[in-house]
Amino acid sequence: MPEGPRPVATALVAGIPVDDVTMDQTVEMIGGFIDVGRATGRTFQLATINVDFVVNAQRDDELRAILQRADVCMADGMPIVWYAQIAGVPFRERVAGADLVPALVDRSRARGWRVLLFGSAEGVAESAAAMLVERFPGAIVHGMSGPMLRDVRAMDDEWTSAITAFRPDVICVALGNPKQEKWIRAHRARLGASVLIGVGGTLDFIVGGRRRAPEWMRRFGLEWVYRASQEPARLGKRYLRDAVVFAPHMLRIVWRRVRWGAASDGGWPVSVESDCTTVHLTGFELRHRDVHALVALAREAHRGGRVLRVRGCDARSRRLLDSLGVVKTFEFT
């Protein structure tokens, strides 16, 4: 019975899968996606998850589905890292979009990747591209602020043509959540890029329109305080709402670990074929930590172009999967 590669660990954060990846690992995975995309035309979607993403997904079923199906979700925010720790999936580090884009451009010089920055306010993407090229000589980076989009599904052909004419390997989309995730989902198939990443306000940080919090504040999860002090009218209400919605989820995960059992049974047989990965659960009773492991297997299968099938799942285990909002992640046989 052939076994697949060991999956990247995944934590379910209020139903949103977030992957335990480091910055270097993320950039290497992007490189692998580009190789596959260039060879096959396949596209990959990445998301930088912070508390606002998770809160928005609780009331937006479309966004929730997009994030659950994204190929990689990075923890862009210390509260996400803390949640994973409480859930029993300790993360090695935070991967912020503001750090990922420069790291990606730096690596692109040696690999010949073409990087497009799309979105943000008028002129910001173009300025960010110029600054990154100056910082990383030899990088191929283009900025395109793009149109103002009320409906992310509607975009004039002239913009599509301008994007495809650049022949990007990677598009960093700075439209804010949930617009950027929905824009990627709507247009990814026709843009010619192998990798599309939602990067939020990253381009503003690059050009200096917004200042990042000091390192010590980021490390202790206080970046939101710094940002709110810079833009109280815009961010104060949002952060308050996020805290009111997210805090109960932090408490709920503790209760679920107690109710469903924190320890992982694991050890289920796994078989891998060309088009699917099958987990055989006959005789196994899932516990809380097992669900994270199953989701990690499903995401690894998806990245490899396969589906995950679950066989022999008992009624109690099915209820656990349903309580965590991940039943649709699997095929049951």
Residue 332's SS3 state is: strand
Give residue-wise pLDDT tens across range 265-292. 567 889 888 889 999 998 888 887 888 8
Q: Which residue has the higher pLDDT, 127 or 223?
A: 127
Q: How confident is the model at residue 255 (pLDDT cuts 50, 70, 90)?
A: low
> What's the whole-number average pLDDT of the chain?
86
pTM of this structure: 0.86
* Sole residue written with tokens 């920055």: 117
CB 89 within 8 A of CB 13: no
Q: Identify the pLDDT of residue 95.
A: 95
Per-residue pLDDT at 263 exceeds 60:
no
Per-residue pLDDT at 47 exceeds 70:
yes
How far apart CA 198 and CA 180 sit, in angstroms, is 6
Structure tokens at 1: 């019975």
Give residue-wise pLDDT tens across range 180-238. 999 999 999 999 999 999 999 899 989 985 666 567 666 666 665 556 556 666 656 66
Q: How confident is the model at residue 2 (pLDDT cuts 50, 70, 90)?
A: very low
Span 24-46, mean pLDDT?
Answer: 97
Among residues 22, 99, 8, 11, the alpha carbon closest in space to that of 326 is found at 11
How far apart CA 171 and CA 129 sit, in angstroms, is 12
Among residues 290, 288, 292, 289, the alpha carbon closest in space to that of 268 is found at 290
Residue 268 Cα to chain centre, angstroms? 27
